Structure 1
Amino acid sequence: MEDVLPINQSLHFAISANDSQSAEELPLFATIIRFVRIPVWCLILCFGLFGNVLTVLVLRSRKLRQSSSCFYLTVLAITDILYLLTSLLASIVNYIFLFPLELRQKSAVLCVITPFLHYTLAYISVWLLVAVTVERAIWVVLPFSARRICTHLTAKITVTCFILGFTLTDSHFFFTMKYREVSTGSFACIPTYFADRVFPFYDLLFAALLPCFIMLIANIMIGIKLRSMRKFRSGIKVFSQNGAVETSRMKATCGSTVDEDCVEQPRSGSVIATTELNPSRQSAAAAPIKGSKEKSTYLTKMLVSTNVFFIVSVTPLLVYDVIYFAVDLRKWAAISEEVRGAVLFALETVVYTLWYTNFAIHFLLYCLSGPPFRLESIALLHRCYAACRGCLVPRSAPVRTLAKRPRSVYI
């Protein structure tokens, strides 16, 4: 959601690609904030890459890859990896080597490719999170129709539409970003009127307003439905004799777990047969339903926690962008760069740090809210550790003794 202009707008520095004296003339506050940003963003980059790579490996395991929700989350993790490697890494390079300039000021290709990749990957990531949230809401609110709606085919079509749609939408950067000569031997990446004044409102709508609104509505629907189902289950007082399975409770459980892995409802002809099962068979029959319920609950918690963090991390940037375009903070900061420029630059640091954190924190949220994901992650790390240890520690040659030989040797 960065503006298409250089990210250091509040400082009013020259943006020419050949200006080598800019870094030496920076105000003290800009230098301090710069060296605060660098380690924080490097930490976010490393943690985000590690977490998202591990997320892909965990979600592709046999235990977790069956559902379409996990497919969405896998593509989301891959998109976050690409976004961190293109946008956040480019920002770190800018602050370490080029500050206050940017990579896009160095060539005509970078002038176009940098904003194109930044916005396209950001939109895809945000709307993948919206899609998986809407799918979870469908499983909760319409559990019996969800099997027909929320399929792997639907997920693949949705992901393809997002990729093609946002790629075509952001292709305007190939025409609206101009690499021009501003003075003799000095070039700059300059946005046209559309990219500078019109596109930011589209960006605000599709990167923050609509996603936050849809996620908020979906989570409210999930909360209301789960609360009503909890009250409904607590009101059922059916106790069968001889340890029989509570068929009505089973139905309520499958209806409320709202997961695609939930077992089918028992039919009318099978109710009587179910009540004739002995206790051991009853527990065996209820085990898949219980596991399915727990899996659905954990997945719902994972998505809700991710949605909450997204809304919290995007809201400051949303408010900042609204004020930025409503008040024209560039002119406001130009009045007193030493004070107002410092305040604006510090605000940019906070809001964009939260924004980048949103692409790196999903793995931690999954581990905190989803025990199956956490256990699978620990098992994967343990296997990696064992494999690395096996490669580093040389194995001793086996010692053969007569006592260890098979009996056939002596025959």
Structure 2
Amino acid sequence: MNVLEYRAVQIWKIFPPFFILFGTFGNVLTITVLTQRRNRQTSTAIYLTALAVTDLLVLWTGLLRHWIIYMFEIDIRAHSAFGCKLHLFILYISFQCSSWFLVAVTTGRFIGVWFPHKVKTVCRTRNVCVIIVAILSFFLILNMHWFYGAGLKKNNSTQTFECNLLDNVDYVIFFEHYKWIDLCIFSLVPLTVLTSANVSIIVRLLTRKLKTRNQVEPTDHVIAERSNRISQLTITLLIVNTVFIICTPPISVYIIWEKDRNESAETNYDKAVLDLTWAIVNMLVYLNNTLNFFLYFLSGSMFRKQVKELLCRGRNCFGTNIAQATD
């Protein structure tokens, strides 16, 4: 094992436990805070709760499997044919839903900034639940193919069974197209939407700030407080979106060229470089599923207050609603 291979293995062994630990803590605490009575009827809280659930699934189905492989040389996908199919099914749905729940909540914030008079109509709790169910249903149907095309195959060189595509020519051809579909759904389209929405939101806020620069600040306490909530929520979502935009493109770019890996890797050194690159881009994408709670906590004072209140065992120290700004 050369130096690059060693580093790739160490990345897979060292980083996943920390990501899983902190990601689980953060996402569970996020779900607990956002499902409190004061928050559960708000559109933003519902979206972010759904996002936290899918982030948990990503960490526990995807990252945990890789860590077990490198630590114990056990692949949980290879224990049964049904387990192989089910694991792929859940993992792909989790990644895709995570991206699109973020798109949905950002779109809601875009509507709140550009069309504030339509927020209460568009971002009703009922509408948000319908959107979440529609996103989930779409990806459930889209990924049903795993139960047909994936299964256990015997590796003649190692004499072990591996979870892989079955020997079906038509399905293999289909999967070549599906890889591009998944790439667009998971990364390219969300990146485009999030980038466009973020730029639009920033432009709108800057324009609004220039118009009101010479105006007297609102003296009404309720109006001022609501404006502060809107600003904090917008900043939080912009930060979360920025992390997504930074962390997901590398693995997307790598997957595009994955087909040429074996052709380009002519030497052991080339293969080691690819393995190290694969480990790094995976850590980046899983980092995105780990950090959301900490981004909420660092950028939102109202979220911090509710977390502190929760950790104080429910003492009524704070009475703010962190997601009220969108409703």
Superposition TM-score tier, normalisation by shorter sequence: 0.7 to 0.9
**Change in CA separation of 1:235 and 1:66 when aligned onto 2, cut-off 3 Å:** farther
Return the TM-score normalized by structure 1. 0.71
Shift of 1:209: 0.2
- 1:314 aligns to what? 248
Residue in structure 2 matching 1:378, options 292, 304, 308 = 308
Shift of 1:94: 1.5
Distance 1:219 1:67 in 2: 21
- 1:12 aligns to what? none
- 1:346 aligns to what? 276
Encode CA deviations 1:232-256: one digit per residue, 9 max, x unaligned. Answer: 111436xxxxxxxxxxx76xxxxxx
- 2:144 aligns to what? 171
- 1:130 aligns to what? 103
- 1:109 aligns to what? 82
Shift of 1:347: 0.4
Secondary structure at the aligned position of 1:171 is classed as: coil
Range 73-82 or range 132-141, more displaced: 73-82
Shift of 1:92: 1.4
Secondary structure at the aligned position of 1:178 is classed as: strand
Distance 2:71 2:146 in 1: 26
Identity %: 29
Shift of 1:27: 6.0
- 1:200 aligns to what? 179
Matched, 1:35 2:10: yes
Q: Which AA in structure 2 matches 1:136? A: R
**Change in CA separation of 1:296 and 1:342 when aligned onto 2, cut-off 3 Å:** same
Matched, 1:98 2:30: no
Shift of 1:212: 0.3
Return the TM-score normalized by structure 2. 0.88
- 1:236 aligns to what? 215
Secondary structure at the aligned position of 1:236 is classed as: coil
Distance 1:27 1:234 in 2: 60
- 1:329 aligns to what? 261
Range 146-155 or range 302-311, more displaced: 146-155
- Does the 8 A contact of 2:100 with 2:135 survive in 1? yes
Shift of 1:302: 0.9
- 1:367 aligns to what? 297
Secondary structure at the aligned position of 2:145 is classed as: helix
- 1:218 aligns to what? 197
Distance 2:118 2:71 in 1: 53
Shift of 1:138: 0.4
- 2:115 aligns to what? 142
**Change in CA separation of 1:182 and 1:58 when aligned onto 2, cut-off 3 Å:** closer
> Which of structures 1 and 2 has the larger relative contact order (alpha carbons within 8 angstroms, sep 6+)?
2
After the TM superposition, which residues 393-408 of structure 1 pair with which residues of structure 2 at under 5 Å, given as runs?
none
User: How many pairs were matched up?
Assistant: 309
- 1:263 aligns to what? none
- Does the 8 A contact of 1:176 with 1:195 survive in 2? no
- 1:356 aligns to what? 286
Secondary structure at the aligned position of 2:290 is classed as: coil
Higher-Rg member (1/2): 1
Q: Which runs of 5+ in 1 are unaligned?
A: 1-25, 238-248, 251-282, 386-411
- Does the 8 A contact of 1:181 with 1:188 survive in 2? yes
Residue in structure 2 matching 1:60, options 28, 32, 35 = 35
Secondary structure at the aligned position of 2:161 is classed as: strand
**Change in CA separation of 1:180 and 1:342 when aligned onto 2, cut-off 3 Å:** closer
Distance 1:70 1:96 in 2: 37
Distance 1:371 1:190 in 2: 47
Q: Which runs of 5+ in 2 are unaligned?
A: 166-170, 316-327
Q: Which AA in structure 1 matches 2:17? A: C
